[in-house]
Amino acid sequence: QKEVEQNSGPLSVPEGAIASLNCTYSDRGSQSFFWYRQYSGKSPELIMSIYSNGDKEDGRFTAQLNKASQYVSLLIRDSQPSDSATYLCAASLTGGFKTIFGAGTRLFVKA
């Protein structure tokens, strides 16, 4: 059974701090990795995708991928209360095939 594992949290950080979210995956054939944000009662929205080892930065967000360790992470710098949500990690084979989501990590950013 292919899996994506995340710590369910909640992860609580003060406003302005760095939030670090982690994820591991079991399928070594996975080629594409994603972080989605899901507010309560809403549908997931993509915030980052990463395909190769290393770091990828987009604004306050940095995704990190280590395929040897089967590990993906998301750093949120200067966390804001509006970042409070559940963050879903997902992995797929090429082209969005066989997408598997983790259960998500709940993040609370305290003002």
Partner 1 sequence: EAGVAQSPRYKIIEKRQSVAFWCNPISGHATLYWYQQILGQGPKLLIQFQNNGVVDDSQLPKDRFSAERLKGVDSTLKIQPAKLEDSAVYLCASSVPGADTQYFGPGTRLTVL
Q: How far is the CB of 84 from partner 1 (least distance, A)?
A: 17
Q: Which amino acid is at 69?
A: S
Q: Which amino acid is at 30?
A: S
Q: Are strands 11-14 and 105-110 parallel, antiparallel or unpaired?
A: parallel
Which residues are at the interface with partner 1 (CB under 8 A)? 4, 32, 34, 42-46, 49, 88, 90, 92, 95-104
**Closest to partner 1 by CB, 54 or 95:** 95
Query: 101 near 4, Cβ under 8 Å?
Result: yes
Query: 22 near 6, Cβ under 8 Å?
Result: yes
Q: How far is the CB of 6 from partner 1 (least distance, A)?
A: 8
How far apart (Å, rounded) are the C-alpha atoms in residues 23 and 26?
Answer: 10
**Closest to partner 1 by CB, 61 or 101:** 101
Largest CA distance in the chain: 41
**Closest to partner 1 by CB, 41 or 111:** 41
Q: How far is the CB of 35 from partner 1 (least distance, A)?
A: 12
**Closest to partner 1 by CB, 2 or 110:** 2
